[in-house]
């Protein structure tokens, strides 16, 4: 990505800016993770979920990681084929399987965790401890809000009455005097 992306960043709204910050941060570190751990950052995110939640199911991963089913499936297959994760039938229902981290997966996660620590040190070095604490608290507050039923209701209500059906598809303004 061009070193001038921060100019464009300032032209966007807060949602665009959050997305851009996350994308640039991930892009700047992803190649290092692949080189040093053998896994990209998205795959490591799934590995961490499995390590933190032994027996987690495919459906739980897609929901918790906010991943499309096909992408989650590919990432899990990469981990299973690489020996970092194994599938086992769940004790409560043999028709379902849970995912479990292996010794190799724990090793790779530890390596990725160290790389993440280094990356976060570099990323946040221009923030004071108070700024970093405020930033983290704000992100947590937003996450809790966006994960609530009230947020879902408010978002649905906010967009419910919006329709662009009467607009000219070409985007041209209505003729003078038309109402």
Q: What does pLDDT average to in each consecutive run of 10 residues of the chain (179 residues)? A: 72 88 90 95 96 94 92 96 94 88 97 95 95 95 94 94 81 67
Q: DSSP character for 97?
A: E
Q: Are residues 82 and 69 in the same domain?
A: yes
Q: Are residues 31 and 76 in the same domain?
A: yes
Three-class DSSP category at 90: strand
Q: Are residues 149 and 132 in the same domain?
A: yes
Q: Are residues 149 and 78 in the same domain?
A: no
Instruction: Look at residue 139 in the predicted model and tell me its pLDDT.
Output: 92
C-beta separation of 119 from 98 below 8 A: no
Distance CA 152, CA 132 (A): 28
Q: Are residues 63 and 94 in the same domain?
A: yes
Q: Using alpha carbons only, give the angle 163, 165, 166 rounded to the nearest 5 degrees.
A: 110
Three-class DSSP category at 172: coil
Instruction: Look at residue 35 in the predicted model and tell me its pLDDT.
Output: 95
Q: Is residue 89 part of a domain?
A: yes
Instruction: Look at residue 62 in the predicted model and tell me its pLDDT.
Output: 93
Q: Are residues 133 and 111 in the same domain?
A: no
Domain that holds residue 155: 127-159
Across-strand partners of 90? 93
Distance CA 108, CA 38 (A): 8
Instruction: Look at residue 178 in the predicted model and tell me its pLDDT.
Output: 59
How many domains are contained in the chain? 2
Q: Are residues 48 and 134 in the same domain?
A: no
Distance CA 130, CA 133 (A): 5
């Amino acid at each position: 990505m061009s070193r001038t992306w921060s100019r464009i960043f300032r032209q966007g709204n807060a949602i665009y800016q959050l997305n851009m910050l996350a994308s640039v941060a991930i892009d700047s570190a992803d190649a290092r993770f692949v080189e040093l751990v053998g896994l990209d950052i998205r795959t490591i995110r799934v590995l961490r979920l499995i390590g933190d939640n032994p027996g987690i199911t495919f459906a739980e991963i897609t929901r918790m990681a906010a991943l499309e089913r096909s992408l989650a499936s590919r990432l899990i297959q990469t981990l299973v084929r690489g020996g970092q994760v194994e599938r086992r039938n769940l004790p409560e229902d043999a028709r379902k399987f849970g995912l479990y981290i292996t010794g190799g997966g724990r090793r790779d996660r530890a390596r990725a965790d160290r790389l993440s620590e280094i990356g976060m040190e570099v990323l946040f070095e221009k923030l004071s401890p108070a700024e970093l604490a405020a930033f983290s608290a704000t992100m947590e507050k937003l996450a809790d809000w966006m994960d609530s039923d009230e947020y879902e209701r408010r978002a649905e209500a906010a967009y419910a009455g919006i329709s662009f059906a009467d607009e000219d598809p070409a985007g041209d303004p209505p003729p003078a005097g038309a109402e």
